[in-house]
A and B are shown apart, each in its own frame.
Chain A
Amino acid sequence: MDVFRYLAPESVEETLQLLDEGAGGVKVLAGGTDLLVQMKERGLRPGLVLDVAGLHELRGIRMEGKYVWIGPLTTHWDLAHSALIREHGLALAQGASKVGSPQIRHRGTIGGNIANASPAADTVPPLVVLEAEVELRSLNGSHWLPVESLMEGPSRTALRPKELITGVRFPHRAPGSRSQYEKFGSRQALSIAVASVAVAAVQEKGRFARVRIALGSVSPTVVRATRVEEILTGEALGEDLIAQATASVAQQCRPIDDVRGSAWYRCQLVEALLARILLCWGEEWMAG
């Protein structure tokens, strides 16, 4: 590894200042579970590493108005164990609980997972279906951007080099709504998703409304399955509908063959995972 400068700023302001001066050669370090791998093994050579782990204001989970607010430094472990997250965005808790291993979940953060923009990132499909937004802040000010719009390609986001993610939020759970995340990895731990599916929807008088479906690991970014959302919207769950939905989900994927699985298999998985979520909901909706 080459020589680089390391600074641990003490405030968000100072961090933004340093990012502004750094002109691109700067990398923010949160848990380091992506960044250090990239530096040690993938030839990433930042001139300056900004360790933000000490910025406590960027940590935590709380209610803010009609949103659940999450500090970007919140770890997967804390997300998975938060009662607030489980109540309002179960899919996100499920996604966080499936990241890596206990060690990785204790270090890795939601901000890092979002900024790293892997198509396999386990919190991103849940965030997309929960209509989450991220707050991007620079010396010039801040704005909220939907997570979905942030993702531009594998490892590419709309996050500018001078910007810091300073918050993540998603709306409270509406009455009758629910969300779920299913990941398929090739083993029980330390397994990047071969494919994943997140679904959020509201049940209104036995029918689907506000359906959002996001797919992981089957396209260059996490993608919405809008076609399938349309099929489900306004309909009541039943075997035929599930069959119709799963039959069309693969068309929404642009998967590749890689060491984790073939394109064919990824499509099979997306169908199976979607069917699994819908079946499980179907049974519960029938039951009551």
Chain B
Amino acid sequence: MSKPKFRSVGHNQRKLDGVALVTGKARYVDDIELRGMLYAKILRSPHAHARIVEIDVREARSLPGVCAVLTYQDVPRIQYTTAGQGPPEPSPKDTFVLDDKMRFVGDRVAAVAAKTPQIAEAALKMIKVEYEVLPAVLNMEHAMDPDAPKVHEIPSANGISIPERNIAAQVEVTDGDPGRGFAEADLVVENLYRVGYVHASHTEPHICITYLDETGRLVVRTSTQVPFHVRRIIAPLVGRPIGQIRVIKPRIGGAFGAKQEVLLEPLCALLTLKTGCPVRLQLTREEVFVSSRTRHPQVLRCKVGVNKDGIIAATQLDVLANTGAYGSHALTVQCNTGSKTLPLYRTLQYREGVNNVHFKATAVYTNLPVAGAIRGYGAPQGYFALDTTMDEIAHRLGMDPIEFRLKNLIREGDSPALLEQLGEGREGVKQVLKSCGLRECIRRGRAEIGWDEKRARRDQGPVKRGVGVAVLQQGSGIPGIDMGAVTIKLNEDGSFNLLAGATDLGTGSDTILAQIAAEVLGTDADKFSVLSSDTDLTPFDTGAYASSTTYITGMAAKKAAGKVRKMILDRAARMLSERGEDLVLEDGQVRGRKESVSLGEVCSDALYQHDQEQIMATASHISYDSPPPFSAHFADVTVDTETGRVKVLEYIVAVDCGTAINPQMAEGQTLGGIQMGLGYALSEEYIFDDRGRMLNPRFMDYKIFSAADMPRIKVILVDTFEPTGPFGAKSVSEIPTNGPAPAIANAIFHAVGVRLREVPFTPERVLAALKSRDT
């Protein structure tokens, strides 16, 4: 497809905040000094399930330097959900800022604010708590047993599906007649898959600083993905109207979903309101592991039926998910496990026009750490089960795994019926696929990895080699829900201010929005000063999640820039006495047929000369489309059959994200997502003792992929044009995380003929699988 040439979009614009970030000048939450600031620390439950019988804080309160101690007796008894989503929130309201019941090891017992962190620590030790220890639910597969302890009390259960069975949320959708499809299929493959707890591993821990400004308004400076949700959600909890709260998001050191949560802000703000002082609350790494948010562990039953020609007759995915002690994102993550995966494969070819798809998910409470949003949002779990199943079918049919997938993959113009039923916690929105570079992704990735030669390879010795493929999609924003708004104004020197609610977490969205606006305004992204995510200064945005910012807020930037462009051209036409349609806006100049004026001159004219006005505009954008980006992943691995070690030698990712607004950053997102996915596939896992205590809450023992572990990765950006996105763009940030687990599982099978159905594929697990096959 031939596309228009862009001056800013599609170029590797340097990140606007890049130099400040790498020279240490950029300011994160913690990089301010406020006079009289107090340090908060949290006392945490040593028990997985317990009730506080008595809590005595007198000694702690009397320790010199301690300014406040809060327990459940001191905070409003209001239930909320920590999940940062728009109202009506689809997650159950099952959380108190502080409660008298402890639901996991690490749950909050009390909070202290003191003049130094050391005093705060000392005060924690002086709090005397008497617990009634309760039996705990530590195995998700037994959470629904009739005699299982109840994690949440029935009278106070709020938006919980079935509290008496520990069911936080559930969803079930059927399209067509899957039962008939399976009955008629020539081959049905059905298996169980397991995925465990995973950490988002953002560099900057959760942190928040709250203070009262000179007018007495509450200011919340926080490391969040969702500043506007924070403001709305904490208002009732701290007893202040929204207008009396300002939320500021400075630079963020990564979040990956774990900060789509309103976790620290209410507690920190209550400490500020109690003491009148600025308060800083930062989690330790151990606290981040144990008490922030994780990926949902799941047990997935995946069933696919095909006819002998390799045409899929029916697909079915049954998911049991562990949401931990609270139901943050319990419903929506599980919805995504189905909606982001199953539509990738058509089931309507088998019997013309009829889809046979069934999806069911149940999220249960346990007395274990709380799951929530993490990059991929349910899709990585789903793809591990679905894509591995597809690989297995291909093998059983004696077909090449790629050829089998190609027969069944979604095509432009398709409209998966499942998506109408399955939205984000509510009914979905009909989607018609308008851009799909999937086949091109597969074609180029296949060539790059040398698929055909490597599939034919056979090797000797204890170390075996194999290649595997995985095919993936995601979405771009939540259709009909996500909204982003952008304000742009012009200055006398031809520079612009761009104000966006959107939340740059290190993702680069500030730069992306500037590139899009610059394209419309015929200037360079460097001419933009971007201010994002200050609820007093910027317009609204739902936040940085669901792969939405480039696609949704990017379109708002394009629209706002379009309005500003019109104002500029109208005024320039008057200044040049020319007709608007004869003017060209480029290189910071408005060129007429005879003369031209600079953007600065246009602004000066507007501010000081004629019909004075500020050239500025605000625009909002919402989309009823959520166009999926597509991707094909290829892993070339070795499996050491004596130690079980799986080594990834080479990894190829071909991704269709529509127009890459900034190819280098799109590649960076992809590499980062692969790094997360590799850890998920091979080495990352929470290990618990038999009382629900995490044994490895530190990076020495929780193994993310280090620089030395990274394979050679090649990213191929496959160009397509998404008509509903800004300059053809779709999302790119979450999709890469979906691929490594299935691609590597499939490569391991190719190497040694063993299917791994539980992540991570640690050497020990792989060796055990090899041994059990051999006996």
Name A's B-contacting residues (CB within 8 A).
101, 184, 186-192, 194, 259-262, 265, 268-269, 272-273, 275-276
Chain A to chain B: the 6 pairs with minimum beta-carbon distance, closest first: A272-B642, A189-B708, A188-B708, A265-B764, A259-B696, A188-B709
Which A residue sits closest to B118, measured CB to CB?
A1
Does B762 reach chain A (CB closer than 8 Å)?
Answer: yes
Chain A residue at minimal CB-CB distance from B643? A272
Say how far B29's CB is from chain A's closest CB, in angstroms. Answer: 23
Q: Which residues of A contact B708 (CB under 8 A)?
A: 101, 187-189
A189 touches B707 (CB 8 A): yes
Give the complex CA separation of A277 and B683 in angstroms: 26
Judging by beta carbons under 8 Å apart, are A276 and B683 in contact? no
Question: In the assembled complex, which residues on chain B have CB atoms less than 8 Å from the CB atom of A184?
Answer: 643, 645, 763
Which A residues lie within 8 Å of B699 (CB)? 190
A269 engages B706 (CB within 8 Å): no
Contacting residue for B703 out of A187, A262, A265, A276, CB 8 A: A187
Chain B neighbourhood of A273, CB < 8 A: 643
Beta-carbon contact of A187 and B643 below 8 Å: no
Check: B183 CB closer than 8 A to any chain A CB. Answer: no
Does any Cβ of A come within 8 Å of B69's Cβ?
no
B41 shortest CB reach to chain A, Å: 15
Q: How far is the CB of B471 from chain A (nearest CB, A)?
A: 28
Q: A269-B643, A272-B642, A275-B642 are in contact. Are A186 and B706 (CB under 8 A)?
A: no
Q: Which of chain A's residues have a CB closer than 8 A to the CB of B687?
A: 259
Q: Are A186 and B703 in contact, CB atoms less than 8 angstroms apart?
A: yes
Q: Is B705 an interface residue (CB 8 A)?
A: yes
Q: Whole-angstrom distance between the alpha carbons of A192 and B767 in the complex?
A: 19
Min CB–CB distance A140 → chain B (angstroms): 38
Output the least CB separation between A81 and chain B (Å).
18
Chain B residue with the shortest CB-CB distance to A260: B701
B26 is an interface residue with CB less than 8 A from chain A? no
Q: What A residues does B706 contact at CB under 8 A? A: 101, 187-190
CA distance A106 to B532 in the complex (A): 42
Which residues from chain B contact A191 at a C-beta distance below 8 Å?
Answer: 703
Q: Verify A259–B642 contact, CB threshold 8 A.
A: no
Which residue on chain A has the smallest CB distance to residue B710? A188
CB distance from B707 to the nearest CB of A (A): 7
List 26 A-B residue pairs with CB atoms under 8 Å apart, sorted by A's residue number. Answer: A101-B706, A101-B708, A184-B643, A184-B763, A186-B703, A186-B763, A187-B683, A187-B705, A187-B706, A187-B708, A188-B709, A189-B706, A189-B707, A189-B708, A190-B700, A192-B700, A194-B763, A259-B687, A259-B696, A259-B701, A260-B701, A261-B764, A262-B764, A268-B643, A272-B642, A276-B642
Against A, the Cβ 8 Å flags (1 = close, 0 = not) of B637-654 are 000001111000000000
A265→B683 CA distance, assembly (Å): 16
A101: chain B residues within 8 A (beta carbon): 706, 708
Shortest Cβ distance from residue B134 to the other chain A in the assembled complex, whole angstroms? 27
CA distance A259 to B706 in the complex (A): 18
B641-670 at interface with A (beta carbon < 8 Å): 642-645
For the complex formed, measure the closest distance between the CB of A91 and the CB atoms of chain B, giving whole angstroms. 19
Instruction: Please tell me the number of chain B residues within 8 Å of chain A, measured between CB atoms.
Output: 22
Q: Which chain B positions have C-beta within 8 A of A186?
A: 683, 703, 762-763
**In the assembled complex, B19 has its CB within 8 A of some CB on chain A:** no
Q: How far is the CB of A268 from chain B (nearest CB, A)?
A: 6
Query: Is B695 on the interface with A (CB-CB < 8 A)?
Result: yes
List residues of chain A with CB within 8 A of the CB of B763: 184, 186, 194, 265
Chain B nearest Cβ from A255, distance in angstroms: 12
| Residues of chain A lying within 8 A (CB to CB) of residue B703 | 186-187, 191
For residue B52, give the distance in angstroms from its CB to the closest CB of chain A: 26
Question: Given the complex, which residues of A lie within 8 Å of B707, measured CB to CB?
Answer: 189
Which residues 700-736 of B have a CB within 8 angstroms of A? 700-701, 703, 705-709
A150 to B767, CA, bound (A): 35
Give bound CA distance, A92 to B379, whole Å: 46
B701 touches A265 (CB 8 A): no
Chain A residues whose CB sits within 8 angstroms of the CB of B700 once the complex forms: 190, 192
Select one of B642, B696, B709, B764 contacting A187, CB under 8 A: B709
A190 to B701, CA, bound (A): 9
A262 to B703, CA, bound (A): 16
Shortest beta-carbon distance from A12 to chain B in Å: 33
Interchain CB contact (< 8 A) of A265 among B695, B696, B709, B767: B767
Residue of B whose beta carbon sits closest to that of A37: B700
Report chain B residues within 8 Å CB of A187: 683, 703, 705-706, 708-709
Q: Which residues of A contact B683 (CB under 8 A)?
A: 186-187
Residue with the greatest number of chain B CB neighbours at <10 A, chosen from A187, A194, A260: A187
Docked Cα-Cα span, A255 to B379, in Å, equals: 38
Instruction: Please indicate the chain A residues that have their CB under 8 angstroms from the CB of B767 in the complex.
Output: 265, 268
From B687, B701, B762, B763, residue with most partner A Cβ within 10 Å: B763
Chain B residues closer than 8 Å to A262, beta-carbon distance? 764
CB closest chain-B residue, reference A191? B703
Cβ contacts under 8 Å, B701 to chain A:
259-260
Residues of B within 8 A of A276 (CB): 642
Which residues on the B side are within 8 Å of A194 (C-beta)?
763
Taking a contact as CB atoms under 8 Å apart, the answer to whether B764 and A189 are in contact is no
CB distance from B13 to the nearest CB of A (A): 33
9 more A-B residue pairs beyond the given contacts A184-B645, A259-B687, A275-B642, with a C-beta to C-beta distance below 8 A: A186-B703, A188-B706, A189-B706, A189-B708, A191-B703, A262-B764, A265-B767, A268-B643, A268-B767
A276 to B642, CA, bound (A): 9
Minimum Cβ distance to chain A for residue B266 (Å): 29
User: CA–CA, A269 to B764, complex, Å?
Assistant: 9
Q: Name the CB-closest residue of B to A1.
A: B118
**Which residues in B have their C-beta under 8 angstroms from that of A272?**
642-643
Nearest CB in chain A to that of B689: its residue: A259
Q: Which B residues from 476 to 492 make CB contacts under 8 A with A?
A: none
Which residues of chain A are within 8 angstroms of B764 by Cβ–Cβ distance?
Answer: 261-262, 265
Nearest B residue to A189 via CB reads: B708
Bound Cα distance from A269 to B701, whole angstroms: 19
| Among B642, B683, B705: residue with most chain A CB under 10 A | B642
Q: Roughly how many angstroms separate A275 CA and B683 CA in the complex, as a whole number? A: 25
* CB closest chain-A residue, reference B286: A41
Report how far A187 CA is from B700 CA in the complex, Å: 11
CB distance from B504 to the nearest CB of A (A): 30
Query: Measured between C-beta atoms, what is the minimum distance from A239 to chain B in Å?
Result: 14
Question: Assuming A259-B687, A260-B701, A265-B767, is B643 touching A189 (CB within 8 A)?
Answer: no
Which residue of chain B is the closest to A190 with respect to CB atoms? B706
Q: Smallest distance from the beta carbon of A242 to chain B beta carbons, Å?
A: 12
Bound together, the chains give a CA A118 to CA B701 distance in angstroms of 16
Closest A residue by C-beta to B763:
A186
CA distance A191 to B702 in the complex (A): 10
Q: How far is the CA of A192 from the CA of B701 in the complex (A)?
A: 9
Question: Once bound together, how far apart are the Cα atoms of A260 and B701, in whole Å?
Answer: 7
CA distance A184 to B767 in the complex (A): 14
Q: How far is the CA of A275 from the CA of B641 in the complex (A)?
A: 13
A186 CA to B696 CA, complexed, in Å: 14
Query: In the complex, what distance in Å separates the CA atom of A69 from the CA atom of B509?
Result: 58
Beta-carbon nearest neighbor of B645 in chain A:
A184
Identity of the chain A residue whose Cβ is nearest the Cβ of B640 in the assembled complex: A272
Minimum CB–CB distance for A144 against chain B, Å? 34
Interface mask (B676-696 → A, CB under 8 Å = 1, otherwise 0): 000000010001000000011
Complex: how many Å from CA A269 to CA B705?
22
Q: Which residues of B contact A261 (CB under 8 A)?
A: 764
Whole-angstrom distance between the alpha carbons of A281 and B768 in the complex? 28
User: Chain A nearest CB: distance from B714 CB in Å?
Assistant: 20
Please give, as numbers and ranges, the residues of chain A lying within 8 Å of B768 by CB-CB distance: 265
Closest CB in chain B relative to A241 CB, distance in Å: 18
Across-interface contacts of B643 in A (CB, < 8 A): 184, 268-269, 272-273
Closest Cβ of chain A to B561, distance in Å, is 46
